[in-house]
Amino acid sequence: MQDLFLLNSPYYYVNHYFQFVHYLLRNLYRGVNGYAEFAVNSIRTWWIKVGTGLYPEAGKILITADCGGSNGYRVRLWKTELQKLANEFRKTVHVSHYPPGTGKWNKIEHRMFSFISQNWRGQPLKDYTTIISLICHTTTDEGLEISAELDENVYEKGIKISDDSLKSVNLYKYKFHGDWNYKISPQKQTGQ
């Protein structure tokens, strides 16, 4: 299945109604720099379609993420894309990365992905319609409901972010493990 998503074809995102920020199928895009755009666009889409309804008074957005892959704490594209998100929504984005090797602590993976895998059992994952349908029909006794839709954007691979572009990110590192815990505030709008 992993090879299916590494082709130059559309990607999909997953979200669910009871989490503040959904977490992506990280193993499908791990380590490919261009997929940071995909990760941030998935957060953007979730916020527009679900988050604003659940949290209409929210003044900031909290994202928890693994330390590696396309949304890793060292990935420049991840931070510049989050800056665009902060600017677009005029909200500060707080990011807390799980320490390296501790992705198993991610509650979303435990609450969601194991049930998706169980639901996929024995089903050939032949196309995106099948995959999305299987994800959307995953439920648990505790009330987990998952929705998914196709993201047909094309994401460029290998985007390089210059030192100057990274320096323009309005990033504040917290005192406790500032590389893993930081916020990105909206930049001042032109003309202000």
Whole-model pTM: value is: 0.76
189, part of any domain: no
| pLDDT confidence of residue 170 | 96
Domain of residue 35, residue span: 2-184
| Residue recorded with tokens 């003309």 | 191
What is residue 88's three-state secondary structure? helix
| pLDDT confidence of residue 109 | 66
67, part of any domain: yes
98, part of any domain: yes
Helix (H) or strand (E) holding 131, with range, is helix 128-136
190, part of any domain: no
192, part of any domain: no
| pLDDT confidence of residue 192 | 58
Say how many domains are in the chain: 1
Closest CA to 61 of 37, 42, 33, 74: 42
191, part of any domain: no
Residue 7: is it exposed, middle or buried by C-beta count within 10 angstroms (0-12/13-18/19+)?
exposed
| pLDDT confidence of residue 158 | 81
pLDDT tens series, the chain, 192 aa:
333 333 333 333 333 322 322 333 333 444 344 578 888 998 999 899 888 988 889 999 988 887 777 777 888 999 999 999 999 999 999 998 888 777 666 666 667 777 777 877 777 777 788 888 888 888 888 887 788 888 888 888 788 899 999 999 999 999 998 888 999 999 988 765
| pLDDT confidence of residue 13 | 30
| Residues 97 and 73 sit within 8 Å (Cβ to Cβ) | yes
